């Protein structure tokens, strides 16, 4: 009996975890720290086996493998989140946020509600991991929405948020998997993409675009998730270790990502990227109106009208309060 208990206690639980993030990136460095912390605190009973750089496929393919039990968890962004917790895409909706303060306020206020959406979809959110402000990068200057009509614009295949935004712009983008973007830029099948600065460099897209519109489309959200089935197999002590460290290291990743994106933007400027401001105050207003139309188009597809109105009203109150300070 003693031997059986000892054997069960020393058994190691392995979480097979996939991500598009390449080795050496901040994302992977923090994931390695997360893994080391979990192993140390659990005395080797729990750890990750991490597949980086997209070797397990894009997010759709990875989630399919998790469903089949071939993988257990993943680092996901927009398309992946849509598949399992569509309500959480409210954080990615177009032209919603204007500052990190607004992002942090809404993310914290709605954390429990949105985490419940992950569980409803069969996953546990180990921690939010912000990807960063997303900008338009093109080979011709884009100052107003009408300038986009001449751009062969990429859209992440299967992303309803991007689809709604471009629909609100009256743009017909070219849907492609994220893994096909670089080749499509090289062959000039597309000449416009959207991305945070750091991801643009990491994915090697930066060498194929010349201009950046200085009007963030959205603050892209990511998350580290594990299937609820795998999570429920863990003893409560290990669940606690995983969740506590997940929140801590994903919060660290968010702060480092913000710093990395700021540095990446400077690198792009030094490398010759031309930063283009909206042509006028009227253009800025047009982008805001596009955001309102785009968010409305997503009602019933991703989130409820009630959730959208609550978030927008909370943002308005936050802005009013902080403006008066």
Rounded Cα distance between 173 and 187, Å, is 16
pLDDT at 158: 86
pLDDT digits (tens, 9 = 90+) for 196-253: 999 999 889 999 999 999 999 999 999 999 999 999 999 999 999 999 999 999 999 9
- Residue 90 banded pLDDT, cuts 50, 70, 90: very high
Q: Mean pLDDT throughout 279-298?
A: 91
Rounded Cα distance between 43 and 6, Å, is 13
Q: Identify the CA nearest to 61 among candidates 158, 192, 184.
A: 158
The residue ranges of every structural domain in the chain are 7-132+220-264, 133-219+270-323
| Domains 7-132+220-264 and 133-219+270-323 fall in the same CATH topology | yes
Task: For residue 211, count CB atoms less than 10 angstroms from its CB and return exposed for 0-12, middle for 13-18, buried for 19 or more.
Answer: buried
pLDDT digits (tens, 9 = 90+) for 52-84: 999 999 899 999 999 999 999 999 998 899 999
pLDDT at 2: 37
Class of domain 7-132+220-264: alpha beta
pLDDT digits (tens, 9 = 90+) for 5-30: 333 445 589 999 999 888 988 899 99
Structure tokens at 59: 């997010």
Is residue 304 over pLDDT 60?
yes
Is residue 4 over pLDDT 60?
no
Q: Mean pLDDT throughout 277-301?
A: 92
Q: For residues 129 and 253, is the Cβ–Cβ distance under 8 A?
A: yes
pTM: 0.88
Is the CATH number of domain 133-219+270-323 3.40.190.170? yes
pLDDT digits (tens, 9 = 90+) for 150-198: 999 999 998 999 999 999 999 999 999 888 999 999 999 999 999 999 9
Sign of CA dihedral 117, 166, 313, 76: positive
Structure tokens at 281: 């105050």
pLDDT at 22: 86
Rounded Cα distance between 134 and 73, Å, is 25
């Amino acid at each position: 009996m003693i031997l059986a208990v000892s054997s069960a206690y020393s058994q190691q639980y392995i979480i097979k975890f996939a991500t598009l993030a390449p080795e050496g990136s901040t994302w992977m460095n923090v994931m390695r720290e997360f893994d080391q912390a979990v192993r140390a605190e659990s005395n080797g009973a729990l750890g990750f086996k991490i597949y980086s750089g997209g070797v397990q496929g894009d997010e759709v393919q990875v989630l399919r493998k998790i469903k089949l039990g071939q993988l257990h968890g993943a680092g996901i962004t927009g398309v992946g989140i849509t598949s399992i917790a569509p309500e959480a895409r409210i954080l990615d909706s177009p032209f919603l946020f204007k500052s990190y303060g607004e992002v942090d306020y809404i993310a914290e206020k709605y954390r429990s509600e949105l985490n419940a959406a992950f569980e409803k979809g069969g996953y546990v959110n180990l921690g939010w991991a912000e990807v960063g402000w997303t900008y338009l990068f093109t080979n011709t200057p884009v100052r107003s929405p009408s300038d986009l009509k001449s751009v062969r614009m990429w859209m992440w295949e299967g992303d309803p948020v991007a689809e709604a935004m471009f629909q609100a712009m009256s743009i017909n983008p070219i849907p492609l998997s994220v893994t096909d973007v670089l080749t499509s830029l090289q062959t000039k099948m597309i000449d416009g993409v959207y991305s945070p600065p750091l991801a643009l460099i990491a994915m090697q897209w930066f060498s194929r675009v010349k201009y950046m519109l200085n009007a963030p489309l959205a603050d892209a959200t990511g998350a580290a998730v594990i299937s609820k089935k795998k999570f429920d197999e863990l003893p409560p002590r290990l669940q606690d270790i995983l969740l506590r460290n997940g929140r801590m290291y994903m919060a660290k990743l968010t702060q480092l990502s913000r710093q990395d994106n700021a540095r990446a933007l400077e690198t792009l400027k030094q490398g010759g990227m031309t930063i283009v401001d909206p042509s006028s105050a009227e253009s800025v207003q047009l982008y805001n109106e596009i955001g309102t139309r785009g968010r409305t188009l997503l009602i019933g597809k991703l989130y409820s009208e009630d959730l959208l109105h609550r978030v927008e009203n909370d943002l308005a109150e936050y802005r009013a309060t902080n403006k008066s300070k």
